[in-house]
Amino acid sequence: MAGGAEAAWLSVEIEQRERELRGLREQLAAVLAEEHGGAAQQGAGAVDADFPAKLPPLPAQAALSPADILRYSRQLVLPELGVRGQLLLARSSVLVVGCGGLGCPLAQYLAAAGVGRLGLVDHDVVETSNLHRQVLHGEARRGFPKAASAAAALRQLNSTVQYVPYCGALTPRSALQLVQQYDVVADCSDNVPTRYLVNDACVLAGKPLVSGSALRLEGQLVVYNYHGGPCYRCLFPKPPPPETVTNCADGGVLGVVPGIMGCIQALEVLKIISGMGSSFNQFMLMFDAQEGRFRNIKLRPKKSDCAVCGDNPSVTCLQDYEAFCGSSATDKCRTLHLLSSKDRISVEEYKKLLDEQVPHVLLDVRPKVEVNICRLEHAVHIPLSKLEEKDEECMEYLEKIIFEEKQRTDGQTSFPVYVVCKLGNDSQKAVRILQELPVKEFGPVLAKDIKGGLMTWASRIDPTFPQY
Amino acid sequence: MAAPVSLQVEFGGGAELLFDGVKKHQVTLPSQPEPWDIRNLLKWIKQNLLKERPELFMQGESVRPGILVLINDADWELMGELDYKLQDQDNVLFISTLHGG
Ligand SMILES: [Zn+2]
């Protein structure tokens, strides 16, 4: 018991120190970003930056230096690239929107290949759960802005490339001005509003857009707005309903999958700027990692009635993309508010109830794969999907558990069932279902959800409980 | 009477999660007076394969925004969309677009 308390206390202390360290790292990164960004970062804060007015043009280079020849020799001997192609790379600038799972490998190969300038946009900071796929960031740079962290890593790889980190979100206010200063844009973002924003900015600025995406074990890639081909809106005139969009935190992603897609994006960028041309104009590349299969899909041509690239465009300047898509321009998990506060309890209230040994059932409604990661010992597990389909076996099991626990009470009042999930969204949906349970079989049940779920339990009650 | 039509119907990009996680379905559409087109196929899928939450897959008589329909590895827009007349052994793929990175 004493050992347990000490361990808990130590964990809290460690967390406190780590928070302090994170703060210091952020300050350092902000200072570094300002220093390295130079003129580019003028007037810009570390976050939500007002992006730069104008970058100086890249110096025209007539010939490769001996150092360049040595460095790039293995690709210089390719007839498809040659000296001419290498000089074109050195004269080109590429804007990388998102320094995550796609942006890291993409930027790495573009820097290694000797692109002239890389703009690196990201509003986020490096977190531990990023490291499995965002391979430019390391443990030591947790808490750093990703754009600054990526620039620092790339500088070690190839110091002859110019890196311009933008530690803020791409916004409708800044995007066009930024995109205009680059030759090609790579969309490595993680959310729907940003994808429409980047597309429209590229169409308005007349820049090719190499767009990649990945989730779970699949990836997709298309080159938009290139040589008269379609744009993102030609393919997707209407944004998907927000509830159908899954992010990497909810859906999961195997790190190497965005790695593969980011590498192919880098390849297409290199082919475009070196004059070889892209293979994915009016084609989509689909990658299924589980089957080990790549598929090339022939797409529609540019649409004459497209809202932004069509003959009579209705989008002639950048708009409010979060409103257009009904979702926010981050990949952070959404917070649902389905239930009123009387149907919810806080983690603190639940802890108190546990300590007082109040009879109840704790129902964990996460998918099995997440329960295998971590769970509260006393919880009963029925995934939300089984509740939604009223799976017979599961409903009987629930009825049995409630009946057994009820024996420990006087049976006078409604029996409490508390529902928990990872973040407190699914648990609300489950409470809705439990509220409809037939009283005949289950008896009166009082269902409530635990606000913020197990992740809030981990941060506020039990620091030894894993976060994922 | 149109003869029965055998198809390979595939789901990807997460759309398969609405179909018990199964990506590939061998489907035989029964013979009917009208020839089978994509419009009828969607109705058939809704009744026979799609167990619940149809709004995550369909909107009206078509697929919801964000799902791309591919017929024999080509965008359905090139093939007549809902009016495309299905041929025996066609491959129809419904792919949800990904946004993660
Ligand atoms: Zn368009």
CA atoms within 13 A on the CB side of A308: 25
- Nearest-5° Cα angle at A178, A175 to A179: 85
The CA distance from A311 to A425, in Å, is 44
Numbers of helices and strands, H then E, in chain B: 1, 7
Q: Do residues A207 and A179 touch, judged by C-beta distance below 8 A?
A: yes
A286 touches B: beta carbon within 8 Å: yes
CA atoms within 13 A on the CB side of A62: 0
Beta-carbon separation of A235 and B12 below 8 A: no
Rounded mean pLDDT, B75-86: 96
Chain A residues touching B69 at Cβ < 8 A: none
Q: What is the mean pLDDT of chain A?
A: 91
A295 touches B: beta carbon within 8 Å: yes
Share of chain A above pLDDT 70, in %: 94
Q: Do residues A165 and A290 touch, judged by C-beta distance below 8 A?
A: no
B56 touches A: beta carbon within 8 Å: yes
pLDDT at position A32, please?
65
Rounded mean pLDDT, A206-226: 98
> According to the annotation, is A228 in a ligand binding site?
no
pLDDT at position A35, please?
55
What is the pLDDT confidence band of residue A40, given thresholds at 50, 70 and 90? very low
Element at A210 (helix H, strand E): strand A209-215
CATH number, domain A44-325: 3.40.50.720
> According to the annotation, is A440 in a ligand binding site?
no
Is B5-96 assigned to CATH 3.90.550.10?
no
In angstroms, what separates the C-alpha of A244 from chain B's closest C-alpha? Answer: 6
A9/A53: higher pLDDT: A9
CA atoms within 13 A on the CB side of A338: 18
Rounded mean pLDDT, A151-160: 97
Chain A residues touching B77 at Cβ < 8 A: 299-300
CB pairs under 8 A between A and B: 105
> According to the annotation, is A190 in a ligand binding site?
yes
Numbers of helices and strands, H then E, in chain A: 19, 13
Residue B13 has pLDDT above 80, yes or no: yes
Q: Which residue has the tokens 């900015």?
A: A201
Element at B95 (helix H, strand E): strand B90-96
Q: Locate B30 and state its tokens.
A: 């029964």
Shared fold status for A44-325 and A344-461 = no
The interface pTM score, or ipTM, of the predicted complex is 0.95
Domain boundaries, chain B: 5-96
Q: Which H, E and C letters describe A70-109, residue by residue? A: HHCHHHHCCCCCHHHHHHHHHCCEEEEECCCCCHHHHHHH
Rounded mean pLDDT, B3-30: 94
What is the pLDDT confidence band of residue A50, given thresholds at 50, 70 and 90? low
Rounded mean pLDDT, A228-241: 96
Distance B77 CA to ligand 1 centre (A): 14
Q: For residue A443, what are the contacts with CB-CB under 8 A and spacing of at least 6?
A: A402, A403, A406, A415
B100 touches A: beta carbon within 8 Å: yes
pLDDT at position A1, please?
47
Q: Do residues A132 and A255 touch, judged by C-beta distance below 8 A?
A: yes
> According to the annotation, is A292 in a ligand binding site?
no
Touching B: A residues 218-277, CB under 8 Å: 218-220, 235-241, 243-248, 251, 253, 258
CATH superfamily of A344-461: Rhodanese-like domain (3.40.250.10)
A353 touches B: beta carbon within 8 Å: no
Domain boundaries, chain A: 44-325, 344-461
In angstroms, what separates the C-alpha of B39 from chain A's closest C-alpha? Answer: 19
Distance A233 CA to ligand 1 centre (A): 5
Rounded mean pLDDT, A133-145: 96
pLDDT at position A31, please?
64
> According to the annotation, is A247 in a ligand binding site?
no
B64 touches A: beta carbon within 8 Å: yes
pLDDT digits (tens, 9 = 90+) for A63-102: 999 999 999 999 999 999 999 999 999 999 999 999 999 9
In angstroms, what separates the C-alpha of A192 from chain B's closest C-alpha? Answer: 6
In angstroms, what separates the C-alpha of B15 from chain A's closest C-alpha? Answer: 9
pLDDT at position A38, please?
42
Q: What percentage of chain B's residues is helix, strand, coil (to nearest 5)?
A: 25, 35, 40
What is the pLDDT confidence band of residue A245, given thresholds at 50, 70 and 90? confident
Lowest mean pLDDT segment, chosen from A5-19, A254-268, A321-335, A422-436: A5-19
- List the single best residue of A132, A243, A244, A297 to mutate versus B (max B Cβ within 10 A): A244
B73 touches A: beta carbon within 8 Å: yes
